[in-house]
Structure 1
Amino acid sequence: MFSVLSAAVRLLLYVLWTLLMLPVYCTALATKTGYRKISCFYWRMTADHVLRMKVVVRGNIAPQRPLLCVANHVSYLDIIALGSFVEGSFVAKAEVRGWFGFGFLARLARTVFINRRQSAAARSRDQITDALRRGEPLILFPEGTSSDGNRVLPFRSSLFNVAEQEVDGQPVTVQPISIAYTRHWGVPMGYGLRPLYAWYGDMDLASHLWEVLVEGGFTVEIDLLEPMTLAQCGDRKALARQCEAAVRRGMNGALTGHPVTLSTETGE
């Protein structure tokens, strides 16, 4: 009963927190002054105090620009975890635009919405290229869907086509990022408990979010891995394979307690 009451209070506080931050963020966005830092602060406070999510970050965002970050996808919670420290934008499927609440926040965060149909591949590439010109990291989930949190699904090489061309005369640097849900109230989560935080298949968003609020107390480990370029890999498909392999190593390392990246920054 207490956990349900606590979840309800935190949900109410989240609504009030969002209403408080909205005019601050919109003003910063309109004047283009510090809106990314405000966005990170918003998601960091949401993670810490609403979801009771601990984010552990190892490694650093690559300094090269244009920069495309590619990560495995477990849940909508990934966006909050990454958004708490990456001053950049996300690439999302077009359907997200219409999601209640999340769609509105995604539009405010300058998310790039793409159509996943093969016939729209060229249009999607152009949208991503335009976003990269802003000079901010752009985060893409190349699995094209989310998993149960215990494995990395195959990366779709078609989503790497933006790396085949230069942006304003500069090659696109691609940085793999692994995301792993590792602990529940400080205890190793295990294979069976991890899907509690994963959102995949035909799960209902509202009921899943409520369950996460009630449970709380989980840890997400993020490894920022070695960046690469298409020229180093040979072609788009090889780039996708190497990024997928790097992300799989990073995720497996975090899940087994043997992270591949040593330097650590912990979000409390």
Structure 2
Amino acid sequence: MITSLRIGFLLLVIVVSTLLLAPVQLAGLAFDWRIRRRLPRLWHRIACRMLGIRIHVHGRLDSRRPLLIAANHASWKDILVLGALADVVFIAKNEVKTWPVFGLLARLQKSVFVVREEKRRTGDQVNEIAERMADGEIVVLFPEGTTSDGNRLLEVKSSLFGAAAAALPLAPQGVVYVQPVAIAYTRVYGLPMGRFHRPLAGWPGDVPLLPHLIGVLKAGALDVDVSFGETAEYREGDKRKQLSAVVEGRIRTMLLDHLRGRHPV
């Protein structure tokens, strides 16, 4: 009974926060006010607090622009975590638009939706990403292209780094900064997360959202380590495959260090 009341209260706080902030965000989107970039971070912080997600940051976000963040992707929780740490915009696959709850939230955050199957639209989408980066927005890319189980990094798709190449002509110094970020879910109930609790970290697309969300709420406390790695510089003449390999290597090293209990400074 207590657990049910607690879950109901936490969900109520999230819903009320959404209802209060959404009209302001909609106005910000309509008039392109700067506040539209900052409000999502407030909402994500509230959501993380209510869900019991405790964030431990290692390293720091690069202050240079234009900046593209490349992060591993295990769950919808990754969006809450990164959104709570910085004013970011996400690159999402087009079908996310139709998802319940998350589709609305993605649109409110002015995510960039990409249709990978339609080559004729790819150029417009990449140009939008480049323009957003040139305007100082921090763009988040999940280069695996899908979610993992939280235990590993899937193969990184170099084609998804086309946004960095497209942003080069708009970069004042002729360089686009690509920062690797590792998101590792490491503890639950304050104890190291073992194989039994690992499903709380990852969210494969075939798992229903509501039962997974209830499981996270019941856990009460979920610790996540977010590591900001060494930034790669992408310049004219550089190859995307080489950039992809460098970024992939840095994400994998940081991720495995935390999953294995090694915590580099």
With the length of structure 2 as denominator, give the TM-score of the two structures.
Answer: 0.91
The structural deviation recorded for 1:233 is: 9.9
Q: How many angstroms apart in 2 are the aligned matches of 1:118 and 1:255?
A: 37
For the aligned residue pairs, the C-alpha RMSD in angstroms reads: 2.0
Matched, 1:59 2:63: no
Corresponding residue pairs, total: 260
Residues 69 and 137, structure 1, Cα contact 8 Å, conserved in 2? yes
Q: How many angstroms apart in 2 are the aligned matches of 1:233 and 1:259?
A: 36
Q: How many angstroms apart in 2 are the aligned matches of 1:81 and 1:38?
A: 15
Q: Which amino acid aligns with 1:42?
A: W
Task: Mark the CA change 1:12 to 1:130 in structure 2 (over 3 Å): closer, same or farther.
Answer: same
The match for 1:187 is 191
The match for 1:199 is 203
The match for 2:137 is 136
Q: Secondary structure at the match of 1:69?
A: strand
Identity among equivalent positions (%) equals 37
Q: How many angstroms apart in 2 are the aligned matches of 1:118 and 1:38?
A: 32
Moved more, 199-208 or 172-181: 199-208
Q: Secondary structure at the match of 1:18?
A: helix
Moved more, 102-111 or 4-13: 4-13
Matched, 1:148 2:156: no
Q: How many angstroms apart in 2 are the aligned matches of 1:235 and 1:220?
A: 33
Q: How many angstroms apart in 2 are the aligned matches of 1:9 and 1:189?
A: 26
Residues 177 and 232, structure 2, Cα contact 8 Å, conserved in 1? yes
Q: Which amino acid aligns with 2:160?
A: L
With the length of structure 1 as denominator, give the TM-score of the two structures.
Answer: 0.90
- 1:245 is aligned, of 246, 249, 255, to 249
Task: Mark the CA change 1:9 to 1:52 in structure 2 (over 3 Å): closer, same or farther.
Answer: same
Moved more, 238-247 or 202-211: 202-211
The structural deviation recorded for 1:179 is: 0.3
Residues 14 and 46, structure 1, Cα contact 8 Å, conserved in 2? yes
Residues 130 and 164, structure 2, Cα contact 8 Å, conserved in 1? no
Residues 114 and 127, structure 1, Cα contact 8 Å, conserved in 2? no
The structural deviation recorded for 1:256 is: 2.0
Stretches of structure 2 lacking an aligned partner (at least 5 in a row): none
